[in-house]
Structures are given as C-alpha cells and as structure tokens.
Amino acid sequence: MSDSTTVSIKNQNKSAASSLLKKNIRKFMNNKLALFGLIVVVIMTVACVVGMIVGVDYNTPNLTALKTPPGGEHILGTDTIGRDLWARVLYGGCYSIFIGVFCAVMSSVIGAILGAISGYFGGKIDQLIIRISEIFQAFPQLVLVMMLVAIVNKRGLSNLLVIFVLTGWMTTFRMVRNEFMSLKGETYVKVCEAFGMKKSRIMFNQILPNVMSPIIVSTTTNVAFFILQEAALSFIGLGVADSTPTWGNILNAAKSVSVVTNQWWVWVFPGLAISLFVLAINFLGDGLRDVLDAKQQ
C-alpha cells in the first residue's frame, strides 16, 4: 500500500515533471551563433580524436616531398622536413584541446572549491585564501613557466599543465567567492540552516548548483584562453617538447622568415585551426552565458 503511494509522486508524474534543461536547450538552439560554435567545436574535436585513434602518421618525414604545397597526396601539404601537415594538425589538435580542457576544468574545480569555502565561511579563512590567490596572481605566467622549465630542466606537457592550473584558478575563485557571499544570504540557505543541515551539505548541495552556470561559462572561455596560452608558449619554444605536436608547436616550425613568405601553408593551417577553434569556443561560451544566466531570464 505504502509502496504504491511511493511510486505515485516520483514516477507517475514524470509527464507533469517539467525540466529546466529542455527550456535551456530550446533557448540554446535559437541562438544561431552559439549553435555554430558548438558544431565547430564538436566537429574539430571529433576529427582530432578520430585522427589520433586511427593513428595518422604525423612523424615520419616524406623525404621525397619536402615543402609540398597543399593538394595531391598531402591535402594540407608537408612541412620543412616533409611531415604531413594534415596529420600533424589533427594530432596536434588532440594535445591542444586536451591541454585547454584539462587546465580549464582543473582550475575551475580548484577555484570553485576554494571560492566556496572562502565565500561561505568568510572571516579569517576568507582573508587567508584571498591573500594566497593574490600572491599567485602577482606572478607572470611566462616567468613561472621559464622558472619551472629551468628547475625541472626539461620541457614537457606536465610542466605546462601544472603551471596553467596553478596560475589559472584565481578568476574562477573570485567569481565563485562573490557568488557565494551573496547567495549565502538567500532565504533557502537560511532554511537549510534552520533544519540543522551540515555546512558542507549546504555549500555543495544547495549553493553550488546555483553557481554552476557561471562556472560552466567561464570554464568554456578558459579552454580557449589556455589553448592560446599554449600556442604562444610553444611558439617561443617554452611549451611542450618538440616531439609532441601541438598547434603551437607546429607554428613554431614556421618561425623563419623564408617559411613565412614561401611556405604559407605551414603556418596558415595550424593558425587557422587555432583561430577557428578559439572563436567557436567563445561563441559557445557567449551562448551558454545567455542561456544559463538566471538574471536574464
């Protein structure tokens, strides 16, 4: 008997159950630019991943075809030592996107947790974390990377990841902290306190879902930011080791003036890939902001 009533609320009313998600998806679909961004991001990511799984040959130089322009056997041509550019862009995309996504997600996680603690508890803990974040913010990223490269004496992917995460969490932290400070005054938080709920439960179960939308938006735009950072660092030779192709590393090969003027395809295609991906990510982020921002609803 009691079992039949159990089902009644949760399951029988699935039809009546409405969903914020559906509404948001509809809203997102109406935003053409964001949809375009999403499609581009998905296509590029899928292409890169498929390329990696299939195992395109990005590393064996074709000595008979150095610096061939696009077309024919090599659709995007080959670079200065005869490696297939199409394969390199695909393969490099995997690394670049991975770096962007990983760093963005990790720094958001760190920023969100610290921001939640700082904003919810306030007082001395808040002051301490704020000071720490200020110290991190005071270091220029480039110098830090150079320092770490010098210390570890090795260029590599892990260096970059550590540095990016360490120097990237502050913006998310500030945002989450401010959101928490205002949201902890909301009545529903008071209600939970009146029911005697644990503080951690209130923080992560009640308040955090309300901060999720700005976090998601900033994570998306951070992906683009980190990809650009990686490209810049790799271009000046401080990024990932040369053996691993990333979009920035491929560009690195195009540093000399003769390549820039004579072999345009060597830098145009990776450059295009970066620009297109970053642009698409930013469109996507803007679209998400419009959809998720409760204040605009």
Nearer to other proteins, 154 or 201 (CB): 201
List the end-to-end C-alpha distance of the chain, in Å, as a whole number.
Answer: 42
Per CB under 8 A, does 17 bind other proteins? yes
Least gap, CB of 230 to other proteins (angstroms): 34
Per CB under 8 A, does 12 bind other proteins? yes
**CA R_g for the chain:** 24
Least gap, CB of 43 to other proteins (angstroms): 29
- As a whole number of angstroms, the distance between CA 284 and CA 297 comes to 18
**Cβ atoms of 179 and 211 closer than 8 Å:** yes
User: Among 188, 237, 242, 275, which residue sits at the site for other proteins (rule: CB under 8 A)?
Assistant: 188
Q: Where are the alpha helices (DSSP H) in the chain?
A: 2-10, 20-30, 32-54, 85-121, 123-138, 141-152, 157-168, 170-183, 187-194, 199-201, 208-235, 247-252, 257-262, 264-292
Nearer to other proteins, 14 or 143 (CB): 14
Nearer to other proteins, 210 or 282 (CB): 210
Burial call 88-107: b when 16+ CB within 10 Å, e when fewer: bbbbbbbbbbbbbbbbbebb
Per CB under 8 A, does 16 bind other proteins? yes
Per CB under 8 A, does 151 bind other proteins? no
Mark the segment that binds other proteins (CB under 8 A) among 44-52, 156-164, 197-205, 216-224: 197-205
Structure tokens at 63: 């000595």
Nearer to other proteins, 128 or 152 (CB): 128
Helices 32-54, 264-292: crossing angle, 10 deg rounding = 130
- As a whole number of angstroms, the distance between CA 230 and CA 252 comes to 11
Per CB under 8 A, does 50 bind other proteins? no
Per CB under 8 A, does 200 bind other proteins? no
Least gap, CB of 20 to other proteins (angstroms): 6
Nearer to other proteins, 8 or 59 (CB): 8
Site map for other proteins, 80-119, x if CB under 8 A?
----------------------------------------
- As a whole number of angstroms, the distance between CA 105 and CA 216 comes to 9
DSSP reduced 3-state for 169 = coil
User: Among 96, 118, 206, 252, which residue sits at the site for other proteins (rule: CB under 8 A)?
Assistant: 206
- As a whole number of angstroms, the distance between CA 57 and CA 240 comes to 19
As to burial, measured by CB atoms within 10 angstroms (0-12 exposed, 13-18 middle, 19+ buried), residue 70 is middle
User: Among 209, 258, 261, 295, which residue sits at the site for other proteins (rule: CB under 8 A)?
Assistant: 209
User: Among 32, 154, 190, 199, which residue sits at the site for other proteins (rule: CB under 8 A)?
Assistant: 190
Nearer to other proteins, 163 or 215 (CB): 215
Residues in the site for other proteins, rule: CB under 8 A? 2-3, 5-6, 8-10, 12-14, 16-18, 20, 186-188, 190-198, 201, 205-206, 209-210, 212, 294
